[in-house]
């Protein structure tokens, strides 16, 4: 059960709260000072001693993957880091195309974030789009009804980036698996705030960019694949870290020989990466785990409830599906009839309230470092704009 947490002290870990009413974690969350200190320390060590700690840092990152594996009911061998979700799904698109050729399609949602669909369309793969309901939901039967005999995969976000709609991944995954299809999830707007069990949810492939709700800065994306997926759809490209070296060397110096990819997710470790920021992400997860992810979820719901209550007194229209808590998140999409949403967002920014425009709507995303005073200030600024611009 949620515990009593000193949220005032938590806010002190996020200096942004002293500067802004920040409602843009769905774009990129600020990092807590603990993450900043880790990144600073690791770069300082790099400046003082070069890459003397490279192997030690690499081992720490594998431990981090093991820990995340435990969180999602998997093994760390199924996890790695890639630069972003677009890269992750481009690898998937290439692998599917190599296996299936051209005569197949994938099913996804109409208003997915482009990282979920552009990699596939970019490979000339036929993408079928499911339209949302008027209340911006994607019911399971509406998704599965788009599947036909040529469909090979269903791709969905755990949480829609614009409306904040949270899909019932477990039920959808079960339905997809009953049809013998791949289930691919973009968990960027859901993980790690909302829990994931890749086995129970029947997830074959998942990417989660951690600069949003991971509070980790631009660390890239966590990339998960099952062992079964990798056997059928091995990585379509290779790099020096993704293939096995010969017995006589620690790097693949062999020539004119067939390379053997790692069987684990290391087959996606094409080359060297930025250990420093990944170690920062490790600190971010440890920081949130210390607070408790359930506590974080309930705090987000508490402040979001307060935001919705305050908005209900204003002439705004909520575009996020909010009637069922199981479909809700900290993302609230709204519009103000008779007004230019972009002008409102610009005005709020000028007055130190940071929101975003997505799908021509105002998007406010609540995180666990926000509090009631942030909401009060944002509502006050919105009221001032409306009073002047009648």
Q: What is the pLDDT of residues 253-272, one digit of tens each?
A: 999 988 999 999 999 999 99
Asked whether the beta carbons of 240 and 252 are under 8 A apart, the reply is: yes
CATH number at residue 12: 3.90.1150.10
Scan for tokens 């506590």, then name that residue. Answer: 295
pTM attached to this predicted model:
0.96
Whether 311 and 344 share a structural domain: yes
Whether 283 and 228 share a structural domain: yes
Long-range contacts of 54-62 (CB under 8 A, 24+ apart): 54/275, 57/275, 57/276, 57/279, 58/275, 60/279, 60/282, 61/275, 61/278, 61/279, 61/282
Q: In whole angstroms, what is the distance from residue 384 CA to residue 314 CA? A: 11
Q: In whole angstroms, what is the distance from residue 279 CA to residue 116 CA? A: 26
Cis omega (within 30 of 0) for bond into 192 = yes
Structure tokens at 330: 């900290």
The yes-or-no verdict on residue 196 having pLDDT over 90 is yes
pLDDT digits (tens, 9 = 90+) for 110-123: 999 999 999 999 99
Structure tokens at 243: 């293939």
Classify burial at 15, counting beta carbons within 10 Å of its beta carbon; exposed 0-12, middle 13-18, buried 19 or more: middle
Structure tokens at 314: 């204003």
Which domain-ending residue is among 261, 287, 313? 287
**DSSP secondary structure string for all residues of 63-117:** HHHHHHHHHTTS-GGGEEEES-HHHHHHHHHHHHHHHHTTS-EEEEETT--GGGT
Q: In whole angstroms, what is the distance from residue 235 CA to residue 227 CA? A: 12
Q: Which residues contact 54 (CB under 8 A, 6 or more apart)?
A: 275
Predicted pLDDT at 1: 42
Q: Give how many domains the chain has, as a whole number.
A: 2
Nearest to 143 by CA among 155, 152, 135, 159: 155
Q: In whole angstroms, what is the distance from residue 7 CA to residue 369 CA? A: 7
Which domain-ending residue is among 230, 256, 287? 287
Q: What is the mean pLDDT of residues 193-215?
A: 98
Residue 31 lies in a domain: no
Whether 273 and 324 share a structural domain: no
Whether 172 and 260 share a structural domain: yes
Q: In whole angstroms, what is the distance from residue 26 CA to residue 44 CA? A: 30
Whether 227 and 90 share a structural domain: yes
Asked whether the beta carbons of 247 and 257 are under 8 A apart, the reply is: no
Residue 32 lies in a domain: no
Residue 363 lies in a domain: yes
Asked whether the beta carbons of 330 and 25 are under 8 A apart, the reply is: yes
Per-residue confidence band for 3, with pLDDT thresholds at 50, 70 and 90: low
Nearest to 194 by CA among 70, 323, 314, 71: 71
Whether 268 and 368 share a structural domain: no
Residue 91 lies in a domain: yes
Asked whether the beta carbons of 26 and 161 are under 8 A apart, the reply is: yes
The yes-or-no verdict on residue 383 having pLDDT over 60 is yes
Q: Which helix (H) or strand (E) holds 337?
A: none
Per-residue confidence band for 44, with pLDDT thresholds at 50, 70 and 90: very high
**Torsion sign over Cα 95, 277, 71, 326:** negative
Residue 2 lies in a domain: no
Q: In whole angstroms, what is the distance from residue 174 CA to residue 144 CA? A: 11
Whether 141 and 258 share a structural domain: yes
Whether 250 and 101 share a structural domain: yes
Residue 53 lies in a domain: yes
The yes-or-no verdict on residue 247 having pLDDT over 90 is no
Q: What percent of the chain has pLDDT over 70?
A: 99
Q: What is the mean pLDDT of residues 202-230?
A: 97
Which domain-ending residue is among 265, 287, 309? 287
Question: What are the counts of helices (DSSP H) followed by strands (DSSP E) for the chain?
Answer: 12, 13
Whether 370 and 333 share a structural domain: yes
Per-residue confidence band for 346, with pLDDT thresholds at 50, 70 and 90: very high
Whether 245 and 276 share a structural domain: yes
Q: What is the mean pLDDT of residues 2-24?
A: 93
Residue 372 lies in a domain: yes
The yes-or-no verdict on residue 353 having pLDDT over 50 is yes
Whether 128 and 212 share a structural domain: yes
Q: What is the mean pLDDT of residues 345-372?
A: 97
Q: Supply the range of the domain harboring residue 373.
A: 7-23+293-388
Distances (CA, A) of 280 to 40, 150, 286: 9, 43, 10
Asked whether the beta carbons of 316 and 354 are under 8 A apart, the reply is: no
Whether 283 and 311 share a structural domain: no
Residue 307 lies in a domain: yes
The yes-or-no verdict on residue 328 having pLDDT over 60 is yes
CATH number at residue 135: 3.40.640.10
The yes-or-no verdict on residue 2 having pLDDT over 70 is no
């Amino acid at each position: 059960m949620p515990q009593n947490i000193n949220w005032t002290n938590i806010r002190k870990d996020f200096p942004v709260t002293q500067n802004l009413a920040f409602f843009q974690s769905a774009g990129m969350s600020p990092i807590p000072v603990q993450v900043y200190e880790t990144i600073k320390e690791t770069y300082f060590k790099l400046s003082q001693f070069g890459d003397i700690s490279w192997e030690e840092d690499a081992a720490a990152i594998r431990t981090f993957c093991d820990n995340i594996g435990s969180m999602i009911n998997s093994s760390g061998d199924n996890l790695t880091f890639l630069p972003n979700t677009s890269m992750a799904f481009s690898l998937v698109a290439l692998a599917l195309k190599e296996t299936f050729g051209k005569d197949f399609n994938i099913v996804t949602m109409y208003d997915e974030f482009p990282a979920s669909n552009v990699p596939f369309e970019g490979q000339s793969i036929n993408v079928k789009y499911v339209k949302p309901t008027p209340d911006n939901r994607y019911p399971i039967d509406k998704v599965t009804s788009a599947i036909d005999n040529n469909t090979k995969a269903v791709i969905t976000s755990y949480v829609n980036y614009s409306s904040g709609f949270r899909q019932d991944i477990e039920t959808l995954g079960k339905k997809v698996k009953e049809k013998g299809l791949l289930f691919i999830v973009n968990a960027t707007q859901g993980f790690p705030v909302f829990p994931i069990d890749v086995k129970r949810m029947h997830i074959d492939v998942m990417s989660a960019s951690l600069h949003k709700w991971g509070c980790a800065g631009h660390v890239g994306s966590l990339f998960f694949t099952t062992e079964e997926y990798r056997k059928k759809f091995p990585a379509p490209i290779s790099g020096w870290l993704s293939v096995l070296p010969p017995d006589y060397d620690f790097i693949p110096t062999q020539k004119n020989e067939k390379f053997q990819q790692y069987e684990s997710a290391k087959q996606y470790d094409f080359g060297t990466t930025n250990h420093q920021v990944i170690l920062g992400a490790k600190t971010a997860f440890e920081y949130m785990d210390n607070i408790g992810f359930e506590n974080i979820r309930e705090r987000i719901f508490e402040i979001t409830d307060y935001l919705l209550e305050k908005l209900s007194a204003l002439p705004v229209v909520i575009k996020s599906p909010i009637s069922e808590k199981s479909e809700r998140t900290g993302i609230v999409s709204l519009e103000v009839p008779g007004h230019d949403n972009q002008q409102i967002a610009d005005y709020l920014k000028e007055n130190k309230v940071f929101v975003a425009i997505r799908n021509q709507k105002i998007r406010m995303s609540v995180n666990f470092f926000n509090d009631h005073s942030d909401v009060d200030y944002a509502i006050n600024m919105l009221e001032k704009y409306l009073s002047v611009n009648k």
